A and B are shown apart, each in its own frame.
Chain A
Amino acid sequence: MSESLGPLLQLNAITKKFGATTALDAASFEGHAGEVHALMGANGAGKSTLMNVLGGVVPMDAGEIIISGSPVQIRSPHESKALGIAFVHQELNMLPTMTVAENVFIDALPQYGGLVDRDRMRKGAAELLERLGSRFSPEQPVEELSTGDRQMVEIARALARDPRIIIFDEPTSSLTDRERQRLFAIIRQLKQSGVAVIYITHFLDEIFHISDRVTVMRNGQTVGSSAIAAITPTEVVRLMLGEVERQERLREPHAAAGKPLLSVRGLTRRGVLHDIGFELYPGEIVGLWGLLGSGRTELVHALIGLDPIDSGELRIAADSEDRPITPKALHRQIGLVTEDRRGEGLLMPLSVVGNLSLASLSQLLSPLRLIDRRREQAFAEEIVARLKIKLNDPRQAVKTLSGGNQQKVVLGRWLATGPRLFILDEPTRGLDVAAKAEVLRLTTELATEGASILLISSELEDMMRVCDRYLVISRGRIVGELPGGADKNRLMEAVSGGHSTAAAA
């Protein structure tokens, strides 16, 4: 395709605010006909908002959209469609009991005399499916199809209007390898027919496999854009994470000694986690380092039995030997801070006292087996003082606390149960600098007192202040281990994937 025609799509300095938060800060993007342009960024970087502006779902505050050289207004999804823009969504928005053909044409059912023209619909769908090389019938209900085939239906729906621009939003996150290869073949085909493809993904290897250009977003800005041939995976990771400032360590790397507290062997959850093995020693903070979608949260869920596993063994040190333990039993022994503080960590309408005492109620009973409120209050106040939780009254609802103090309540609940192992999944998410430092300091205190800590964070700065060792996770596998003293370059290279990095590094 000739570049001299100029870009098919230009997004210039798009700005969008939601209340006080800036979701998009003068973000710019170009799409060329016959090109695959990857859009990358961490969670919350602004990818979806930018694409929602293009899709007419979110109105922009400032900026301009130019298609084929002329400025356009996109005020609704309908206008977006009329301009030849189509979306292939990540979560498949299908009507499972309706047929493939009905799903493909649901927003523009062909009609004949006020009734749905089934013949035309079936033929149209069959043509589209043939273009996609799909073998299922347009008459089949969508619920009978595999995830990969449903994705094809979603793509057929996007193609039904002959779009000039197609946006793929993380299309491969639930596909098998073979389905992914088929998707890539289709994307190449679309590219050849002159469509501008925008491809959103978390997977670095896919970008280097399928795209011609990559644009990286961070904090609502487009921080870099390059032809794929002119950039390495490590450089993309660096753009995504931004300048990682080396902050003072809160605790020098601590060499593990003695016997492991927890050993994990061959942990597998089909399609998600593959043969995961590692050890955690008492008193050490181990960072589980991987990009979004690497399987780090899935690993946590599998370890504690929130998701089932297909095979693998966990052993925990007990007395002088180590014993096998099931994920559910492990869950009962550990302190767990999950990524989703509001949804999984706290009972927001309950008081600070009620949240803190929840896991320790059996220690707070009076002789009549009723909860002794005075002791409960004293128990909570002790934790509040120890963790320096800032509040007006321990009886206030936990939802009225700031994020940092809420997180301390989550930690405080477990602290009182004296666990030997803590799993902290994104404990510093959404916290300000001071609160982050406090939560991290608390983490080192727990380790110094002898607890093992498995820490997951997307913020490399935070990990680099406390971790004694890193396990590198990618695509559901532990792909390497790095010492606590590793610098940011080594850490970034480690998650940039083997093949092309090895050549570049």
Chain B
Amino acid sequence: MTTAAVRRIASIAAPARIVPLLLAIAILVFLYYHAPHFFAVRNLINILVQMSSLGLLAIGMTLVMIGGGIDLSMPATMAFGAVLGAFYMRAGGNPAVAALITLVAVAAVGTINGIAAAWFKMTPFVVTLASMTAVGGATVWMTNSVSVSHFPDAFFNFYLARPFGVPVTVIILVVAALIASTVMSSTIFGRWLYAVGINARAARVARIPVERVLFATYLVSALLAGLTGVLLSARLGSASANIGNDGVVLDIVSACVVGGVSIYGGTGKPLGAVFGAFFITLISNSLNQLGVSYFMNLVVKGIVIIAFIYLDKLARREP
């Protein structure tokens, strides 16, 4: 391929990166004039807290998507882990042990997804759709669709703390984003994962343990789902099957796609997905501020994701 052709691809790809940024600025300017409450410090912090759950989930999804897969079970896994931890705390258990229970439970789900997708070569979409259903069903069955609450104070004191005025969940998001960025850009695992996502066959010829790499992505996505579940339980004061509702998975995939993570695998950065999470939260929140109905909100999000997948496709198309 000629350099001119490459430049042409880059010029098509560029809008895919710049469009969400411009849109975000446009929305902020619009809100400045039409929804002044939006810029209240309380609302801004609220947005940051809201986006931190989505951001953590999007980081996990980013790894899976770079490897060429998808993990639809993330929200269901999150609710499953959160509810198990909540049961333990309601019975008077220690919050640290509860968090451990949550992480072990979600790791089990991630292991099943990972083994099925990596070694058994089952289609990730179907495997995680099935585990989403199974895990989601188990959660509803365990809870009878009732929220589990009554957590010890120590739990809230830890997760709802605001050192220097910054909520703990935001700090956790920043740390997770920095670690994920470093892993993807500067570790052997990161290089391997990009290689597997670009071309699994070529990666195998280059001696990369393709199955182990793919497996790890599903394990990490499940663990991040578990972590998010713990944070969300603290914020909501309860855990329920409903925190992993169907809308969440669309939000995660939207955040990734808006943030430049390709659904075809091989490209994308964790920080991009975090920005995408900010963008998606911004849209929901601002539509809310403008008094738009929740259901119209879903319509807008659906349209946004279709538009960005189209941009992704344009950027990918080789002349």
Contact = CB atoms under 8 A, between A and B. Distances in A.
B199 interface: yes
A371 B186 contact: yes
A419 to B, nearest CB: 11
Contacts of A399: 1, 6
23 contacts: A306-B205, A332-B207, A343-B201, A344-B199, A345-B202, A345-B205, A347-B202, A347-B203, A348-B199, A349-B266, A350-B194, A354-B191, A358-B195, A358-B208, A361-B188, A370-B182, A370-B186, A370-B187, A371-B187, A371-B191, A373-B186, A400-B1, A400-B2
Contacts of B198: 347-350
B195 A350 contact: yes
A371 B1 contact: no
Of the listed residues B202, B203, B206, B207, the one surrounded by the most CB atoms of chain A closer than 10 A to its CB is: B202
B10 to A, nearest CB: 10
A358 B199 CA distance: 13
B182 A358 contact: no
Contacts of B182: 370
B202 A331 contact: no
Q: How large is the interface on B (under 10, 10 to 19, 20 to 34, 35 or more residues)?
A: 20 to 34
Contacts of A371: 186-188, 191
A346 B202 contact: yes
A428 interface: no
Nearest to A338: B205
A489 interface: no
Interface string B166-202: 0000000000000000100011100100110011011
Contacts of B207: 331-332, 359
Given A332-B207, A345-B202, A413-B206, A358 B191 contact: yes
B157 to A, nearest CB: 34
* Chain A CB within 10 A, most for which of B3, B194, B204, B206: B206
A276 interface: no
Interface string A320-363: 00000000000110001010000111111110001001110110
Interface string A412-445: 0100000000000000000000000000000000
Secondary structure at the A interface, as helix, strand, loop or mixed, is mixed
Contacts of A343: 199, 201-202
B131 to A, nearest CB: 27
Interface in B233-278: 266-267
Nearest to B2: A400
A364 to B, nearest CB: 9
Query: Quick one: which of B188, B195, B201 has the most chain A CB within 10 A?
Result: B188
Contacts of A347: 194-195, 198-199, 202-203, 206
A13 interface: no
A366 to B, nearest CB: 9
Nearest to A354: B191
A352 to B, nearest CB: 14
A345 B204 CA distance: 10
Contacts of B188: 361-362, 365, 371
A372 to B, nearest CB: 9
A397 interface: yes
A336 B195 contact: no
The listed residue with most B CB atoms (<10 A of its CB), out of A343, A344, A365, A373, is A344
Nearest to B189: A361
A346 B206 CA distance: 9
Given A344-B199, A400-B3, A413-B206, 6 more contacts: A343-B201, A347-B194, A347-B195, A349-B198, A369-B187, A371-B186
A371 B202 CA distance: 21
A373 B207 CA distance: 21
Contacts of A358: 191, 195, 206, 208
Interface in A355-405: 357-359, 361-362, 365, 369-371, 373, 397, 399-400
Contacts of A397: 6
A344 B187 contact: no
Nearest to A392: B3
Contacts of B191: 354, 357-358, 361, 371
Interface string B191-230: 1001100110111111110000000000000000000000
For the complex of A and B, list the 9 residue pairs with the smallest distance between their C-beta atoms, beginning with the closest: A370-B186, A361-B188, A347-B198, A344-B205, A371-B186, A358-B206, A344-B202, A399-B1, A347-B195
Nearest to B201: A344
Which of B191, B205, B207 has the largest number of chain A CB atoms within 10 A? B205
Contacts of B201: 343-344
A300 to B, nearest CB: 11
Interface string B1-18: 111001000000000000
Contacts of A400: 1-3, 6
Contacts of B206: 347, 358-359, 413
A347 B3 CA distance: 17
Contacts of A365: 188
A306 to B, nearest CB: 8
Contacts of A344: 199, 201-202, 205
A318 to B, nearest CB: 19
B185 to A, nearest CB: 8
Contact of B205 (A336, A350, A361): A336
Nearest to B266: A349
Interface string A70-88: 0000000000000000000
